[in-house]
A and B are shown apart, each in its own frame.
Chain A
């Protein structure tokens, strides 16, 4: 169960800095998910840890030993790439058994391990098939099973569930975590799916432009995002431009577009400062009449419904507020099976204690939130 430590790592590709002065530490036995948009440096970070690429600057330690220059196979690490390469002439079982065999295990033991892994990946019924007879999702699971079967102590996984159907991905992510936890390996798992990261990781690293934007438990990343980008990328939210109108020790009053005033709990910014008000969608309630709500407890803002979307467990509704801002609300479907029709006059309500406030980003709000 190795620990991993990166110190001041820089990795450049031509004029592009893929990893930019990155330092971090992963304790032994931890399951860490790396989350970030395309081009944020996720795969490069994995390759640096696995030993498939060498940093331009900085040090990498595994179990406190410097490993820069040490090849992948001597690091005790197994890297499962996004573009898996299975042996086309071997059966699924032989492919998976290759993992432990290459690590010097007896034939019998390798086959036993391989069978157990295939069962876990729900592929035991395809053990004798050749890779090209399987779907892309199945092949990816074979590659993952092969990586897991090596019993390496450090697993480095690049989008291990990426090629799977959404429904199957949900089923397998729990299994993957269980397996990692029961065998005690250290795992670094790259994904672009925030639900996957939240449900598997002990910790989440949010990466953008080769830098760590936040490294914390899923709970902390979600409840106390360190930046607007993190709030947007993990969980999503409403972002409203505002100016601080008044400040008290126990909270502030913000002025939104059109002079609309709302109460917030934050009191770190000074009157006149440009800020962004952040409200998670599930913290916005929509009611038909404002006497249904306690206005001492809630900010109540008038508006009308623009559109509604059914998401399964939640219903999401987009509102156009009186001041011209847009606001999205998310309600558990069990709480309201019917949505309001477009055009209906309603009130959006949110508590001061459910708001977050950030300084207005120097690069502008839309650039700060951009994920493409």
Chain B
């Protein structure tokens, strides 16, 4: 039952608060990812949990057990980071069985587990190879197996796929995820890759400036982000300044320039200034100016993206919007300079209070 509990964690490096007020629970067999821009403190957090860095304040509990003063090798936590750190002079099987061996286990005792692990990562036939004979992706799989061979059921991943090619990374993440599920492990995974986090996690934690901004399931955070920063960082969004004009039966109406949009937000009053966020693929785009409750504008760019077409539309209030149309929805007859209408289902318009320090600053990624 490797529950992980982090309470009021803080860490300071000179004048910089690397971590502040971090509280986080990871439940047994949960896969939790931490994402955030560089310098947000995500790696520092994972190093505090591993026991590589001592926090200034707060505690880490694993299975209800206080981790303070327990050195890294006794925490029974598997730790895998970006740089592959296999022993170059040892064969794959020796690398994987290294942990049990230094813990004093006889080779025959750990043999079953090591063989099972190599089977799981489909590298049993490479057991006698040296690391340098394997691709980077395969080496990283070995590193994960080695972390598991000591019997750890809590795994910390610090960008384990970060140094690999995009295509390899995608293949590997699903392979590792399957292995984690099959073995019933608990994982805390730091990554800078939003899609990676969304596709494999039960829960995502978003960090910025040493603090947790928001946490939730990938779907929740993507479809209904509570914070502007989340809307901008997890996926992409168009942000517009708007003003609430009136309440409606289903929510409220906001005004962007001279255009009106329905939203399902009920928390704000007429006259309030707001910021609205709309993801590029939440809009449908159609030729010609028409109807109420749409944004209208002119196409200033189009780009084929494989599974979708990306349109750049300058709306009449002056802002530029990105709109993505899935190819599988059918072809559209829309060309550069065409006048278009953008329709947005009201529940997909996110409404926020204007950030205190200004929208532009809020959207800065570093």
Instruction: Report if A and B associate in a common complex.
Output: yes
Chain A positions within 8 Å of B324 at CB level:
313
A312's partner among B39, B174, B198, B232 (CB-CB below 8 A) is B198
Interchain CA distance A165-B159 in the complex, whole Å: 12
Q: Does A153 contact B (CB under 8 A)?
A: no
**Residues from 334 to 366 in B contacting A, C-beta threshold 8 Å:** 345, 348, 365-366
Q: How many A-B residue pairs have CB under 8 A?
A: 121
A222 within 8 A of B: yes
Bound form: Cα–Cα A334–B38 in Å: 30
| A222/B165 contact (C-beta < 8 A), A170-B236, A199-B310 known | no
The answer to whether A337 touches B223 (Cβ under 8 A) is yes
- Residue contact A332 to B366, C-beta cutoff 8 Å: no
Flag if B168 contacts A372 (CB, 8 Å). Answer: yes
Cβ-defined partner of B165 (8 Å) among A37, A138, A335: A37
Chain B hits for A135, CB < 8 A: 38-39, 366
Q: How far is the CB of A14 from chain B (nearest CB, A)?
A: 16
- Taken together as a complex, chains A and B put the C-alpha atoms of A330 and B307 apart, in Å, by 10
Complex Cα spacing A171 to B233, Å: 11
Contact assessment for A312 and B328 in the assembled complex, using a CB-CB cutoff below 8 Å: no
Interface residue? B282 (CB, 8 A): yes
Is A166 on the interface with B (CB-CB < 8 A)? yes
Known contacts A166-B194, A282-B307, A332-B329; A310 and B218 CB within 8 A of each other: yes
Is B274 an interface residue, CB under 8 A from the partner?
no
Q: Is A136 an interface residue (CB 8 A)?
A: yes
CB contacts (< 8 Å) of A282 on chain B: these are 307, 326-328
Q: Which residues of chain A are within 8 angstroms of B303 by Cβ–Cβ distance?
A: 199
Q: Is the CB of A165 within 8 A of B365?
A: yes
* A311 interface residue per 8 A CB criterion: yes
Query: Is the Cβ of B200 less than 8 Å from the Cβ of A235?
Result: no
Q: Which residue of A lies closest to B137 (CB)?
A: A372
Within 8 A of A (CB), among B23-59: 37-39
Residues of A within 8 A of B218 (CB): 310
A137 CB contacts on chain B under 8 angstroms: 38, 366
Q: How far is the CA of A331 from the CA of B307 in the complex (A)?
A: 10
Q: Do A219 and B365 touch (CB < 8 A)? A: no
Contact of B171 among A38, A167, A316, A371 (CB under 8 A): A371
Assign chain A's interface to a size class.
Answer: 35 or more
Q: B167 to A194, Cβ gap below 8 A?
A: yes
Shortest B280–chain A CB gap in Å is: 8
Determine if B233 and A167 form an interchain contact, defined as CB atoms under 8 angstroms apart. Answer: yes
**Contacts of A281-323 to chain B: CB distance below 8 A:** 282-283, 309-314, 316
Residue A59 lies at the interface, judged by CB distance under 8 Å to chain B: no
Proximity bits, A215-240, B CB within 8 Å = 1, else 0: 00111001000000000011110000
From residue A165, how far is it (CB to closest CB) to chain B in Å?
5
Q: Report B-chain residues with C-beta under 8 Å of the C-beta of A199.
A: 303, 305, 310
Measured between beta carbons, the chain B residues less than 8 angstroms from A136 are 38
Closest B residue by C-beta to A313: B281
Given A165-B365, A233-B167, A371-B165: A334 in contact with B39 (beta carbons within 8 A): no
A222 and B304 in contact, given A309-B199, A312-B194 (Cβ under 8 angstroms): yes
Find out whether the CB atom of A310 lies under 8 angstroms from the CB atom of B306: no
- Residues of B near A241 (CB, < 8 A) are none
> What residue in chain B is nearest A233 (Cβ atoms)?
B167
Which residues does chain A contribute within 8 Å of B198, judged by CB atoms? 310-312
Complex: chain A residue closest to B283, CB-CB: A334
Residue pair B306, A234 in contact (C-beta under 8 Å): yes
Most buried by B among A193, A310, A313: A313
Closest Cβ–Cβ distance, residue B286 to chain A (whole Å): 15
Check if B222 is an interface residue, CB within 8 A of chain A.
Answer: yes
Bitwise, B147-159 to A at CB < 8 A (1) or not (0) is: 0000000000000
Beyond the given A167-B365, A195-B306, could you list 10 further A-B residue pairs with CB under 8 A, ordered by the A residue number?
A38-B136, A166-B195, A171-B365, A199-B310, A234-B306, A309-B174, A314-B307, A332-B281, A332-B329, A334-B345
**Can you give 26 A-B contacts (C-beta < 8 A)?**
A37-B165, A38-B136, A38-B165, A38-B168, A135-B39, A165-B37, A165-B38, A165-B365, A167-B37, A167-B194, A167-B236, A168-B37, A217-B304, A218-B305, A235-B306, A236-B170, A282-B328, A309-B199, A311-B198, A312-B235, A313-B280, A314-B307, A335-B326, A337-B219, A372-B135, A372-B137
